[in-house]
Amino acid sequence: MSRLGAIAIGSCAAFPAAALDNVILNTPGADDALHKTLEGASMILQAQEEERTSPDDLLATARAEYKRMVSVLYGQGRYGGTVSVKIDGREAADISPLSPPASIGTIEITVEPGPEFLFSEASVKPLAPKTELPKGYRKGEIAESGLIGQAASTATSAWKDAGHPKVDLVEESITANHAKSTIASRLTLDPGPKLRFGPMTVSGNKRVRTDRIKAIAGLPEGETYSPKELNDAAERLRRAGAFRSVSIREAEEVGPGDLIGVDTEVLEQKRRRLGFGAELSTQEGGRVNAYWMHRNLLGGAENLRLSFDVENIGTTADDNGIDYLASVIFRRPATFHPDVDLVLRAVIEHEDEPGYVSNLAEIGGAFAWHYSDDLELTAGLDFRASEVDDAFGERDYMMVSLPLQAFWDKRDNEFDATRGYFLGAELRPFVGIDNMENGGLIELDARGYYGFGEKRNTVLAGWMQYGSLFGPEISGAPQDYLFFAGGGGSVRGQPYQSLGAGEFGGTIFGGRSYVALSGEIRSYVSGNIGVVGFVDGGYVGAEEYYDGSGEWMSGAGIGVRYKTGFGPIRVDFATPVQGGPDDADKLQLYIGIGQAF
């Protein structure tokens, strides 16, 4: 349905010279959708909204408005339209920028869109095999200008994917027939020769060795050129963590034997970094952690990280003391394969938990395979020696485990996700060496996020955890492989690790099966300030696999978030809902950095 669309917006200013009383947009012959598109694209309306109403600024904006409106019309397949921009009755194009008016009261924009043009011809020649041009780029379809650019881009990309990096658009014939309201589009490409990757040249590196940069990039020299291989090489170098910026591009000139060289330019990160973090809850107390990191330990982008964590500082939970953990992690990218990292680790830990006190030392190594940008698979071997004092007495044990892990991360932001999901899975079979039975541990972690609104300021978030320990009985299992529920990371509002599989001699002990469910609704209501409502539930059972014979507990609460450049600052208030100790505090406070999950 055609109509005469008009919008008038009034404004006032403190100084008469800068007054702009009205902006009027007329779109005779346009439907509602086109009128809104033109309205949204208008630079004059935007200037008024932003209160940029000085005569000089408005005149420059008005003179640029012609091109903006014509561009919108072309994008809608309308090549016979007219645009008029009048400043207090004078055409803006006729006013010299050197002699702007002393004041501007009214700007009237009139856009007559004219008829829709259709493609009478839409061709690209030659095409690489299996090229799929945009569906709208064909005879009889509306001749939107953007489709022509998309067709050229699609066809060019297809030739590059086929190994022709020097493909060129050599002719672009666009002919309009205004009498018939048609557009004939003829695009001609020169694919150029099919090329293979030649040698890589590296510049910008100061401390990371050139041979290691080439090994990490992993470009297949001698194989057919591929843009994906270039992108993968750049991503590997960024993932190594030793570089602030990475640029990889094919050389300008083709070398002998149809080889195309690759120019790589890097800018290195500072080698050393020091960081720290802190969290606080009313019952678990405080947690502080610090780390020192070297990004290029041996000159090959090797990463060394030393970490120290202290938890439960000032805890008020029953039978709970301070925990300490010191760890060393060494990571070497491109070990045996560009997408495989070698990871070596050593950990010393003291835990004073409600159900046990333990001291352990663990060393191990693993290979981490970056299967894709989103999926990482790891396999390793760990050795552990530990001494434990729990509900069943004191004992020492030694064991070897084989951790197998998979992480699939499709979140848009690790620390404040608004869409996507995260899936994590671990299978850790273990063999007892001394005073330990054989068995295995299974842990699953699934998180999902769905954002609403134009900026996804409101997000529904869900988290599911599952755990199962099979093999040893509870009395002989590694205590940190058993499961407890309650507190942050589990069931907010309930006392820390207050739900286990039972008690023995007045001391709680953990279970062999575990389920935790959390749901949140998050909304940034004013700038960087957000609010959260949440419900958590947790289950612990003595059985190896969940069968419902254990107990559930739940908690709920509200929270506040303040968005920062390093993740949101989190403050949550929670209370018990179902289950848990009868004498539990009715309100728990949790403070940290980053979302709860």
* pTM recorded for the entire structure: 0.81
Condensed to tens digits (0 to 9), the pLDDT of residues 207-244 reads: 999 999 999 999 999 999 999 999 999 999 999 999 99
- Residue 66 is predicted with a pLDDT of 97
Q: Which residues of 431-458 are buried (b: 16+ CB within 10 A; e: fewer)?
A: ebeeebeebbbbbebebbbebeeeeeeb
What whole-number percentage of the chain has pLDDT above 70?
97
285 neighbors 312 (Cβ within 8 angstroms): yes
More confident residue, 475 or 317: 475
Quickly count: other Cβ atoms within 10 Å of residue 274's Cβ: 8
pLDDT in tens, 26-73: 999 999 999 999 999 999 999 999 988 899 999 999 999 999 999 999
DSSP string, 5-33: EEEEEE---SSGGG---EEEEEEEEE-HH
Average pLDDT over residues 380-389: 97
Mean pLDDT of 296-306: 97
Average pLDDT score over residue span 187-206: 97
Contact indicator for 310, 287 with CB cutoff of 8 Å: yes
Using the predicted structure, report yes or no on whether residue 12 has a pLDDT greater than 70.
no
The whole-number pLDDT of residue 19 equals: 62
Order of strands, sheet of 168-177, starting from the edge strand that comes earlier in the sequence: 118-125, 182-190, 168-177
Q: What is the pLDDT of residues 395-454, one digit of tens each?
A: 999 999 999 999 999 999 998 999 999 999 999 999 999 999 999 999 999 999 999 887
Q: What percent of the chain has pLDDT over 90?
A: 87
Average pLDDT, the chain: 93
Q: Are 370 and 397 a contacting pair, CB within 8 Å? A: no
Instruction: Look up residue 257 and give its DSSP letter.
Output: G
Question: Which residues have a Cβ under 8 Å from the Cβ of 266 and sit 6 or more positions away?
Answer: 202, 203, 204, 205, 208, 213, 237, 243, 245, 246, 247
3-state SS, residue 190: strand
Q: State residue 455's pLDDT score.
A: 81
CA distance 354 to 509: 8
Mean pLDDT of 318-344: 95
User: Quick check: helix, strand or coil at residue 146?
Assistant: helix
The CA radius of gyration of the chain, in Å to the nearest whole number, is: 32
Which tens digits make up the pLDDT trace of 126-136? 999 999 999 99
Residue 9 has pLDDT above 70, yes or no: no
**Range with the largest mean pLDDT of 45-54, 139-148, 583-592:** 139-148
Q: Can you give the pLDDT at residue 11?
A: 34
pLDDT(3) > 70? no
DSSP string, 206-221: SSS-HHHHHHHH---T
Q: Which two tokens stand for residue 380?
A: 């390793």
| Distance in angstroms (rounded) separating the CA atoms of residues 4 and 78 | 17
Per-residue model confidence (pLDDT) at position 216: 98
The pLDDT tens digits of the residues spanning 485-513 come to: 999 999 999 999 999 999 998 899 999 99
Residue in the structure block whose two tokens are 């055409």? 91
The Cα–Cα gap between 467 and 489 comes to 14
